[in-house]
Amino acid sequence: MGERCCAVVRVLVLQAAWALSGGQVRYSVPEEAKAGTVVGRLAQDLGLEAGEAEARRLRLVAQGRRASVEVSGASGALLVSSRLDREELCGKSAPCALRLEVLVERPLRVFHVQLEVTDINDNAPIFPAARKNLSIAESSLPASRFPLEGASDADIGANAQLSYTLSPSEHFSLDLQKSSERNLVPDLVLTKSLDRETIPVHRLLLTASDGGRPSLTGTMELVISVLDANDNAPQFNQSVYKVKLPESAEVGTFVARVNATDADEGINSEVTFTATSFIPPSGRDVISVNPNTGEIHLTAALDFEEVSIFDFRIEARDKGTPPLSGHCSVELEVLDVNDNAPEVWVTSLSVPVPEDASVGTVVALLSVSDRDSGANGRVRCWVWPASPFGLEATFAGSYSLVLREALDRERVSEYEVEVRAEDGGAPALRGRRGLRVAVSDVNDNAPAFAQAVYTVLARENNAAGAELARLWARDPDEAGNGRVSYSVWEGGVGGGWRPASSYVSVDAESGRLWALQPLDYEELQVLQFEVRAVDAGEPPLCGNATVQLFVLDENDNAPALLPPAGSAPEAGGVAGEAAAAAAGSVSVSGTLWAWAAWGAPAGQVVAKIRAVDADSGYNAWLRYELWEPRGKGPFRVGLYSGEVSTARALEEADGPRQRLLIVVRDHGEPARSATATLSVSLVEAAEAALAAAAGSSSSSSRSAAGAEMGAGAASAATNVWLVVAICAVSSLFLLAVVLYGASRWAPRAAVLSGPGPTTLVCASEVGSWSYSQRHSRSLCVADGAGKSDLMVFSPNFPPPPPGPAAKDTQPEPSALLDTVSGTALLASTLSLSLCPFSLIS
């Protein structure tokens, strides 16, 4: 037994080496090998290194029927896993070859292994019955032949080659005949005449032995009864009948008619027919014979794929006593019909397929088979729809479904693929197998905003946490690759040195833009920043959008009164003080003081109320109203200029002092206001000149002189002409000095430079205003700081030509003012306290 195993192993090794040279691994194993028997070192024969079989998951792919072998994960050897029965697997087919598919991963490869199961002599010959009764007339002549039913052996080859022996007998011997050049049929031959009276019954033992080593045997007992009389057996007109039928023949189809005659007369010549000795035995269920007519009909459907040839015998027996019989052979050949559609099996499916998979990636392995033969069994396969997959033949009946085009999950996320197979029969039959191939997502799309630039309008003084806008970016990827988070990207402009994240924030999940603090238009007019949308893919992709946040002004600032022009620090020195005195107004303890001479004509400006509003546009457009005294008083105030002038000529009846209450209002909704109190002292013209001269001599004594002027008027009158003369001379000298210095060193309007050409604009009562949302303006006064504003007044002169700088083309301030008679008014004009300027960019 050990030598036999060694021989088998050597044969296996030689066959494996030969198969590898041909591109296919082939092994052979005897049937009934024990579980665990090593068929071959598959991993080594496939060229895999030690341990690589388990790492690359070397395994078999099922082929629809149990293969009874498996691959050892540790060693990579092909082992017998369960009982191998060649007769169960292949029947009488020779050789018995099993086609196996072996898969390895990383990378995915398929190998084809052919396993031949060799026959061993494990089946003994079997007779149809353990006992056979024969009746032979004693009148039978020596050399008479009596056919016997042969035994059948499930093995093949030499193991199925049967020989027969008969127990010793002086009357009978055994002769073997070939049937259809395939089988040996034993015939019982009479060697000596029978004598029923001597031996009425003969009992013999027929033994069938196969050609195996050791040989197996089967026996059948022959019980021979010797009969008298009838000495002529029926004879067929031919010894062999050959019939061909398509496998599509219906049940009841006429097959053939056998004819036998008997030379006897009477009852001894009446013949009945029976079918015997079916090979294979299943033919008993397929064929029936009419016992009287000898007609053969089908009693079951034929199947070429199961049995292609039926061999059986027809026995014609007469009714004599004893009955005699004759025999003939019938060979029924089944013709193949295209009655089996191709079958498609999915042996391996690798899904989902990533959308960045390269062309040529194997998606699935398929096996296609057709049980028909010849042209009916030749199969062609294709994929429908053809794009983006295709089929590649890897071996006979094996195909790979591969990727032919690049995938895009955002366009198609799942494919319904159908593998179709068609045979070469007429008409052709088709088989199909549907596959659902899902495409998995990769992060190949960056988030994209609906707009590249978002314009957001927000009113100032909004509540902290108020929603300003909602931003949304679309990412067509799925799951984490399409989950977008938002953030404010630093780099905002418009808020000075403060970053954009100190003003606004964006919700990371919803994209809601909200304010971190109340916005102040006076601090911030435009904030430009970027919002970044980042997905959760690996690596993450991002998209940006620019947000332009415009703050809309609210009327949240009341007008603020400015001190007289002469008291401003930037007016400077003697010029500012002289201008204040000449204008006839000072500020004492929060009240503005002014002097006016009796007899002053109507329209003479005695003072100017100066105010500014931190708001812009319409909210910063101021108007001045005389609140007290109401009615027809001696004074009036300019609605938009704030200039206090005489409404008529001043008279002594107007009293020595007039108290004016002036309200400054803006145009906002609701309007905000401020109140100014102006005390106007009415004096003689000489006293007014004296007050002007005294005010110009010293800035420290100016306030006291104004406060005590009314009380000292009587004492000054005693020597009025002397004082007038002195003051006139001094005033003229000082006035000349002041005018000269003011004309050379008087400060120009402080303006803020900005991009583009500039235009200097002077406000007046007839000016017009405009509002711009996109361009900032600066409103300036000669003695005050500039402020951000959106209120613009049209100039009363043509704009400067392009080219030189704006400051070089501005006219002198005196040219922009209406001329007002009187020295005091001229001095106030030079102080620039009445003319606010604006820079238009």
| Alpha helices, DSSP H, located in 22-161 | 42-45, 52-55, 86-90
Q: How confident is the model at residue 63, as a pLDDT?
A: 60
Q: How far apart are CA 344 and CA 435, in angstroms?
A: 11
pLDDT at 611 over 60: yes
Among candidate residues 439, 517, 510, the one with its CA nearest the CA of residue 478: 439
pLDDT band of residue 685 (cuts 50, 70, 90) is confident
Specify the residue for token string 């900032």.
Answer: 776
**What is the average pLDDT value for the chain, to the nearest integer?**
77
Give the pLDDT confidence score for residue 695 in this predicted structure.
Answer: 52
Q: What type of residue is 569?
A: P
The two tokens of residue 193 are 């005449």
Q: Which two tokens stand for residue 110?
A: 């398929």
Question: How many angstroms separate the CA atoms of 352 and 391, rounded?
Answer: 18
Per-residue pLDDT for 776 more than 70?
no
Distance CA 397, CA 403 (A): 20
Closest to 663 in 3D by CA, of 633, 634, 630, 631: 630
* Single-letter amino acid code for the residue at 247: E
Two structure tokens written together for 644: 């206090």
Tell me the C-alpha distance between 643 and 490, whole Å. Answer: 49
Q: Is the pTM of this model over 0.95?
A: no
Q: What share of the chain is helix, strand, coil (3-state, %, to 5)?
A: 20, 40, 45
| Tokens standing for residue 560 | 């603020």
What span, in angstroms and rounded, lies between the C-alpha atoms of 749 and 747?
A: 7
Whole-number pLDDT of residue 609: 92
Confidence of residue 65 (pLDDT cuts 50, 70, 90): low
What's the pLDDT tens digit per position in 328-358? 999 999 999 988 899 999 999 999 999 999 9
How far is Cα 59 from Cα 55, in angstroms, rounded to an integer? 11
**The pLDDT of residue 491:** 52
pLDDT for residue 246 is more than 90: yes
> Please, are residues 440 and 537 in contact by the beta-carbon 8 Å criterion?
no
Judged against a pLDDT cut of 50, whether residue 188 lies above it is answered with yes
Q: How much is the pLDDT for 559?
A: 94
Those residues with Cβ within 8 angstroms of residue 449's Cβ, 6 or more apart along the chain or in another chain: 471, 472, 473, 474, 531, 533, 543, 544, 545
Q: Residue 618 — very low, low, confident or very high, per pLDDT cuts 50/70/90?
A: confident
| pLDDT one-digit tens code per residue, 465-475 | 899 999 999 99
To which H or E segment does residue 279 belong?
A: strand 271-279
Q: Write the DSSP symbol of residue 126.
A: B
Look at phi and psi of residue 243 and say left if phi exceeds 0, alpha if psi is from -120 to 50, else beta.
Answer: beta
H/E segment holding residue 366:
strand 362-369
Which of 498, 513, 522 has its CA nearest to residue 549? 513
Q: Is the pLDDT of residue 534 over 80?
A: yes
pLDDT tops 70 at residue 713: no
Q: Give the helix/strand (H/E) hosting 734.
A: helix 720-745
CB 42 within 8 A of CB 71: yes
SS3 assignment, position 681: strand
**Amino acid at site 88:** E
- pLDDT-derived band of residue 745, with 50, 70 and 90 as boundaries? low
Mean pLDDT of 267-287: 91
pLDDT at 624 over 70: yes
Checking if the pLDDT of 586 tops 70, the result is: no
Strand partners, 243: 332
Under the banding of pLDDT at 50, 70 and 90, the label for residue 560 is very high
Res 568: pLDDT? 42
